Amino acid sequence: QVQVVESGGGVVQPGRSLRLSCAASGFTFSSYAMYWVRQAPGKGLEWVAVISYDGNNKYYADTVKGRFTISRDNSKNTLYLQMNSLRAEDTAVYYCARDRVAAAPKYYYYGMDVWGQGTTVTVSS
Amino acid sequence: SYVLTQPPSVSVAPGQTARITCGGNNIGIKSVLWYQQKSGQAPVLVVYDDSDRPSGIPERFSGSNSGNTATLTISRVEAGDEADYYCQVWDSSSDHVVFGGGTKLTVL
């Protein structure tokens, strides 16, 4: 079945780095843009980043731009989020999600139709 | 940057109709999505392109979008509809995904 599964979360000290992974299965991964979305404890959803199906276009929320990097390996059906210079306010559940439309134009994103269960990142000393 | 505004909470009795609004500047020209998130679970897409439903979503869920307000309507509300609901758009001006702050639906 169509699914995405996140991994790589954990407890990390402020200023350190962490890399999240998202393994996709059940669909042609290389045809879909992919997202990272996070949710701080007791808060709403916050978009983090999106990457086009071919990896050539990437967009970031202002709160993470310059610190986080989204990437993908279409040969491994895997999405990544490299998180550097982590702060306490980055503490959240991080979700990976698939774009709703295959082979969509790289200047437009259609929203998220498949979500993982999330991986928890805690930034604390 | 583009902002979407939702009421923090909406309450409705079982069997009644719930309407959750999402306000944004000229949102009527954008394509709006709605997600349902039950406690402790990942979000689920319930409406896309303002008013279309993914397969498996009951017809009780419907959407509309005009002017400065998009609306998610849930007819014949059931206890199982109790959840947080988020609206979302793609803002082409900033190349950003934008979420509303979320609305907690309580079934009385």
Q: How far is it, in rounded angstroms, from Cα A103 to Cα A32?
A: 6
Element (H, E) at B73: strand B69-74
| Mean pLDDT calculated for residue range A99-114 | 91
Nearest CA in chain A to B33: A111
Does the pLDDT value for residue A121 go beyond 90?
Answer: yes
Q: How far is it, in rounded angstroms, from Cα B103 to Cα B20?
A: 7
User: Between A and B, how many CB-CB pairs are < 8 A?
Assistant: 61
**What pLDDT is recorded for position B91?**
96
Please report which confidence band the pLDDT of residue A95 belongs to, taking 50, 70 and 90 as the band edges: very high
Q: How far is it, in rounded angstroms, from Cα B62 to Cα B49?
A: 11
For B66-77, give one letter per residue: b (16+ CB within 10 A) or e. eeeebbbebeeb
Residue type, A1: Q
Q: Is A27 on the interface with B (CB under 8 A)?
A: no
Does the pLDDT value for residue A82 go beyond 90?
Answer: yes
Q: What is the mean pLDDT of chain A?
A: 97
Tokens 């991964």 sit on residue: A29
Instruction: Name beta bridge partners: B98.
Output: B89
Give which of B49, B90, B92, B94 to mutate to test A binding, by max A Cβ within 10 Å: B90
Does the pLDDT value for residue A6 go beyond 90?
Answer: yes
Which of residues 37 through 76 in chain A touch B, CB cutoff 8 A?
A: 37, 44-47, 50, 59, 61-62
Does the pLDDT value for residue A97 go beyond 90?
Answer: yes
Say yes or no for a CB contact (<8 Å) between A110 and B31. Answer: yes
**What pLDDT is recorded for position A104?**
84
Nearest to A111 among B44, B88, B101 (CB): B88
Nearest to B99 among A46, A107, A110 (CB): A46
Does the pLDDT value for residue A106 go beyond 90?
Answer: no
Does the pLDDT value for residue A105 go beyond 90?
Answer: no
Q: What is the largest CA-CA distance in chain A?
A: 42
Give which of B65, B89, B97, B103 to mutate to test A binding, by max A Cβ within 10 Å: B97
Nearest to A116 among B42, B88, B101 (CB): B42
Each residue of B14-68: pLDDT tens digit? Answer: 999 999 999 999 999 999 999 999 999 999 999 999 999 999 999 999 999 999 9
Q: How far is it, in rounded angstroms, from Cα A119 to Cα A36?
A: 11
**What pLDDT is recorded for position A103?**
86
**What pLDDT is recorded for position A108?**
87
| Mean pLDDT calculated for residue range A82-103 | 97
Q: How far is CA A123 from CA A14, A40, A65, B89, in A?
A: 6, 11, 18, 29
**What pLDDT is recorded for position A87?**
98
Residues in B touching A100 (Cβ below 8 Å):
45, 48
**What pLDDT is recorded for position A49?**
98
Each residue of A27-66: pLDDT tens digit? Answer: 999 999 999 999 999 999 999 999 999 999 999 999 999 9
Does the pLDDT value for residue A107 go beyond 90?
Answer: no
Distance from CA of B31 to the nearest CA of A (A): 8
**What pLDDT is recorded for position A14?**
98
